[in-house]
Chains A and B, each alone.
Chain A
Amino acid sequence: MLTLIIDLVLTYISTVAFGIILNIPRRALNTSGWIGLLSFLAYKLYLMAGGGIVGGNFLGALLIGILSMQAARWLKMPVINFNIPSLVPFVPGGQAYQMVKNFALGNSGVALQYLLEVAEIAGAIAFGFLLAELVNRLQARIMVRFSSKWRHERHRNPKL
């Protein structure tokens, strides 16, 4: 429990810090940190419930995609300000490193195993983003049909 809380706090810090490296606008920093924290929490909970890494990364990426779009609409900013920093805790850095190390030391069999794992995680994240995009487009269509405010906004404002 304590490690979970510490991990969440650290995820928030790492997301905000990566946002500073990418130079996202100052008023987007806090929100992107919270998106990183929430999606990482979902990932951790999924793992605790006995799920695998691939499903967890998929769930995390899906949440990042959906939450980022809500934040982008709310703060009226491009969505890349939120989804790029919050993706950082999901980068399969450990597996990629083991892959490189084993290739360098000549253990190609082990290295290929890690390569496969990296590819699985990357695929899961990409698929999570794809599904999030679908949800966002559906939401936009439904809201434009039923809300006059949205219809008005869509005509006036650039894409988020």
Chain B
Amino acid sequence: MASDRGQLVLKTALQAGRIMIQNGSEVARVDDTLTRIAQNAGYPDSKVYVTITGIMMALSSEGNAQVEPIKNRTIDLEMVTRVNDLSRKFAAQDITLTEFNDDLDDLEAHPNAFPVWLQLVAAGFVSATLEIVFRGNYHDALVTFLIGMLGYAVFFGVNRLARVRFLSEFLAAIVIGVLAIETVKWGWGNSTDDIIVGSVMPLVPGVPLTNAVRDILSGDLVSGIARGMEAVMSAVAIGSGIAVILQLM
């Protein structure tokens, strides 16, 4: 029969792993963290199998393996960092296993995200600055700032309502395309192309792209290909949104 301590180790490790994958960590890091948590809790021979849709973990001296499904994924790299910090503290024996478990609950209850308005302003800055860097068009920077901000707001709002990432990207791309064409018609902007290129930049799937490469390099082929697919789907959603508008208008 499994002991209470073993159960707590499994619960804590799986929860830590779920938080990390949910918020955009790559698979090898989770694998390593979970093995170390078990090791530092006194179970040197644990077996961990991590994919981006679920984690399985067993401690060899205990009877049962446990499964933790991962249903939704967002991007919040601060959460990954904080789980990492907790795991370091546990390794240095600054906190006990029970405290580790409580801290994870606390972390999930109180995420420390940047406020929404700041994220929107940041999306505007990404759009305007990259429009200038890529295209050198200073005149359209302000318009791009506003459209990029609005596009990201649509993405954020729809994502919160419908929780389908590809749908929100598609709708945001449509809004960006319409606004870019209209503002050029009204004479506020010079070049539709430059405005669209800048405004879609905050929607770029940076985390899936980078993680796909890192996962494949570290040998996690299943997760790497799944991540790559996620990135391709996002790119297709944005591209088809823009293409629909360009063809219609």
Contacts and interface: CB of A to CB of B under 8 A. Distances in A.
B68 interface: no
Contact of A94 (B134, B202, B206): B134
A14 B132 CA distance: 11
B125 A100 contact: no
Interface in B141-183: 152
A54 interface: no
A157 B88 contact: yes
Interface residues on A, range: 35 or more
Contacts of A16: 122
A74 B207 CA distance: 22
Interface string B107-131: 0000001100011001101100110
Contacts of A6: 132
A12 B113 CA distance: 21
A62 B184 CA distance: 39
Interface string A50-69: 00000000000000000000
Contacts of B235: 96
A98 B196 CA distance: 11
Interface hub of B84, B135, B152 (most chain A Cβ within 10 A)? B84
A22 interface: yes
A157 B214 CA distance: 20
Given A14-B125, A18-B122, A158 B134 contact: no
A22 B75 contact: yes
Interface string B67-99: 000000001111011101001100110000000
A23 B77 contact: yes
A145 interface: no
A20 B80 contact: no
A22 B33 CA distance: 22
B44 interface: no
Contacts of A91: 201, 204, 206
B197 A80 contact: no
Interface in A123-152: 126, 129-130, 133
Interface in A79-117: 80-81, 83-85, 87-89, 91, 93-94, 96-101, 103-105
Interface of A is mostly: helix
A84 B130 contact: no
A159 B81 contact: no
B129 A78 contact: no
B88 A76 contact: yes
Contact of B246 (A78, A89, A105, A157): A105
A156 B32 CA distance: 12
B207 A84 contact: yes
Contact of A80 (B77, B82, B91, B134): B77
Contacts of A20: 114, 118-119, 122
Contacts of A80: 24-26, 77, 80, 207, 210-211, 214
Contacts of A85: 206
B123 A25 contact: no
B236 to A, nearest CB: 10
Nearest to B210: A84
B174 to A, nearest CB: 13
Contacts of B198: 93
B200 to A, nearest CB: 7
Given A17-B126, A129-B210, 4 more contacts: A21-B123, A93-B130, A93-B198, A98-B193
14 contacts: A11-B133, A13-B125, A21-B119, A23-B76, A23-B119, A25-B78, A80-B80, A80-B214, A91-B204, A91-B206, A100-B239, A100-B246, A105-B247, A130-B213
5 closest residue pairs by CB, A with B: A104-B243, A20-B122, A17-B125, A10-B129, A17-B122
